[in-house]
Amino acid sequence: MDFLSFVIGLCLTWIIIKTFHIIPRGKANQKRLPPGPKPFPVIGNLLELGDKPHRSLTKLAKEYGPIMTLKLGRVTTIVITSANMAKEVLQTHDQLLSNRTVPDALRVHGHDELSMPWISISSKWRNLRKICNGQLFSNMALEANQDIRRKKVQELVAETRQSSVTGEAVDIGKAAFKTALNMLSNTILSVDLAGPNSDTTLKFKEIVWTAMEDIGKPNLADYFPVLQKFDPQGIRQRTAVNFVKMKNIFTHMISERLQLRKVSGSLTKFDMLDTLLNICEENNEMMDKKAMEHFLMDLFTAGTDTTSSTMEWAMAELLCNPEALSKAKLELKQVIGEGHPVEESDISRLPYLQAILKETLRLHPSTPLLLPRKAGADVEINGYIIPKGAQVLVNAWAIGRDPTLWENANLFMPDRFLESEIDVKGRNFEIIPFGSGRRICPGLPLAIRVLHLMLGSLIHNFDWKLEDGVNCEDMNMEEKFGITLQRAHPLRAVPI
């Protein structure tokens, strides 16, 4: 028995002892919880999760229904796996179900108290949301920064063209990550964080993914709060290391900009960082230097990881569906014309490209289990009670593959969206990759532009084939589960 196993065993023994002292001897709670599998003593249903919880919870829902209860250690968890039930949680009862259960991994460097996706609904949250909606993701801001995105996609096309000349395969996820990273860093910091000859892309991608994987994986400290002191799996410690690496990048950028602003006659950058520093100077309660560092961490982790994974899944599906790829190329040729670049203003005239991305997000939502919510009071849904303090998980992956909603639910069929008004903006609960309600992803307007622009450009400018020796039947579509859903094996394809 290794040291970690010994510690876990020791802690679990202590939990058992504590549990029998804590459990009341009176009548059991009479609240009518949704149905669910019978829990084991102490550990509850933890063994049901497996290493891909989105899939195991989907399987359980087939037996217990679209709203079910799991006991994960000491945590009562309600799992939602249908569009109707998701609407109840995300819209009808949004006010009582908007706060979060925060993973122990995020309780490092005070991130749980400063991170917009995780803090409770409050004036602090509303201020951060206001900055996102007004300064970064408004139509005016997105239009003003359109040249940056155009330039970075042109660089992606140029690098891909160089690979086509040499016959080298392109790592799609890495290329998309670098492009998204430099789009954001130029918009926010006026610099490329990933230079043409640096390994920053790979390092930053590894930092972000490792953090997302650790935060998303089952953690004993989340299910048994008494274990939080011990961090038995070392998850919080690893997350702290990765957070420091990210935080140091932004601390350095902020310090450099502050020094530059002190120099008489220095030019204002008019970027997001200058805007945030202006807010700091005008209203320190709304934003200070520490809050800014954590805000930038949120923007860069959410804006790079999800974009690159969606691009990778989209290209993988297209390479395995040549008919869909041909339709997309024909549409681009007819609408854009050969030799002309794809522009953001073209997106509305490219319904099949839009359909491809909707179908990709249906099958491969970047966050398969939407960030966990917490009941602020007892809530009745479908005749059942979600008790105050319960964790609520919405399985967007299961809803996107619900056979009662989608014909041939597991097949990649973009055409299904051509005569459909369904979109991914949180109004249609059949497909909610960005969430819905007041907690919907604030970066959705930017993500929609970037994904269409990047994917359309790669399809329009090149033909594609898998690396030599690999065919579609052999392509590994296995997933890696974290807060986000990645391909377990990077997609490599040759541009022609």
pLDDT digits (tens, 9 = 90+) for 288-317: 899 999 999 999 999 999 999 999 999 999
Rounded CA-CA distance 350/335 in Å is 7
Answering whether pTM is above 0.85, one says yes
- Judged against a pLDDT cut of 90, whether residue 29 lies above it is answered with no
pLDDT digits (tens, 9 = 90+) for 459-490: 999 999 998 878 888 788 899 898 888 898 99
**Per-residue confidence at 26, pLDDT binned at 50, 70, 90?**
very low
Rounded CA-CA distance 238/134 in Å is 34
Specify the pLDDT at position 196.
Answer: 73
Question: Which residue segments constitute the domains of the chain, with CATH numbers given?
Answer: 3-495 (1.10.630.10)
Mean pLDDT of 433-455: 97
Mean pLDDT of 400-412: 97
Specify the pLDDT at position 124.
Answer: 93
Specify the pLDDT at position 21.
Answer: 46
Q: Highest mean pLDDT: which of 125-129, 202-206, 354-358? A: 354-358
Mean pLDDT of 426-446: 96
| Strand duo 99-100 + 464-466: pairing | unpaired
Mean pLDDT of 262-281: 84
Alpha carbon separation from 62 to 66, 123, 165, 345, 461 (Å, rounded): 8, 40, 50, 43, 44
**Per-residue confidence at 389, pLDDT binned at 50, 70, 90?**
very high
**Per-residue confidence at 27, pLDDT binned at 50, 70, 90?**
very low
Specify the pLDDT at position 16.
Answer: 55
Percent of the chain exceeding pLDDT 70 equals: 93
- In three-state secondary structure terms, 42 is coil
Residue from 380, 482, 395 nearest 64 by CA = 395
Percent of the chain exceeding pLDDT 90 equals: 78
Mean pLDDT (the chain) is: 91
Q: State which H helix or E strand residue 77 sits in.
A: strand 75-80
